[in-house]
Amino acid sequence: MYLANSYVSEPPIDPFTIPGITNPHMNGILWRESWERLDKFGQGQHDWAFLDACMNASDSHGKDGAFQVLAGNFAPAWFFALPGAKSITSDNGLLTTVPFDPVFQATWQEVQRSMANRYKGRARLRYVVMSGVGHGSESFFANSPGERAQAEQVAHELGYPDAITAWEAGVQWLIDMYERVWGIKPIVLCTGAPFDPDAGGTEALQAMIDYGDSHYRGRFGARADDLLFYNPNIGQPSADIIIQISPHCIATGYQFGNHQNVNDPNPPDRLNQALIRGTGFGAHFIEVFADDADNPISGQVLDYANARMLSSPTPTP
User: In this predicted model, what pLDDT tens digit does every residue of 140-199 receive, in sequence order?
Assistant: 999 999 999 999 999 999 999 999 999 999 999 999 999 999 999 999 999 999 999 999
Distance between CA atoms of residues 300 and 124, nearest Å: 25
User: In this predicted model, what pLDDT tens digit does every residue of 58-91 receive, in sequence order?
Assistant: 999 999 999 999 999 999 999 999 999 999 999 9
For the chain, what is the largest distance between any 2 Cα atoms, rounded to a whole number of angstroms? 56
Strands 285-289 vs 253-256: parallel, antiparallel or unpaired: parallel
pLDDT of residue 6: 74
pLDDT of residue 262: 56
In Å, what is the CA distance from 143 to each residue of 10, 210, 213? Answer: 29, 21, 25
pLDDT of residue 12: 87
pLDDT of residue 9: 76
Q: In tens digits, what is the pLDDT along the chain, a chain of 317 residues?
A: 999 887 777 888 999 999 999 999 999 999 999 999 999 999 999 999 999 999 999 999 999 999 999 999 999 999 999 999 999 999 999 999 999 999 999 999 999 999 999 999 999 999 999 999 999 999 999 999 999 999 999 999 999 999 999 999 999 999 999 999 999 999 999 999 999 999 999 999 999 999 999 999 999 999 999 999 999 999 999 999 999 999 999 999 999 986 655 566 566 888 999 999 999 999 999 999 988 899 899 999 999 999 999 888 878 66
| E strand residue ranges, 149-297 | 187-190, 220-227, 253-256, 285-289
pLDDT of residue 265: 56
Distance between CA atoms of residues 250 and 222, nearest Å: 10
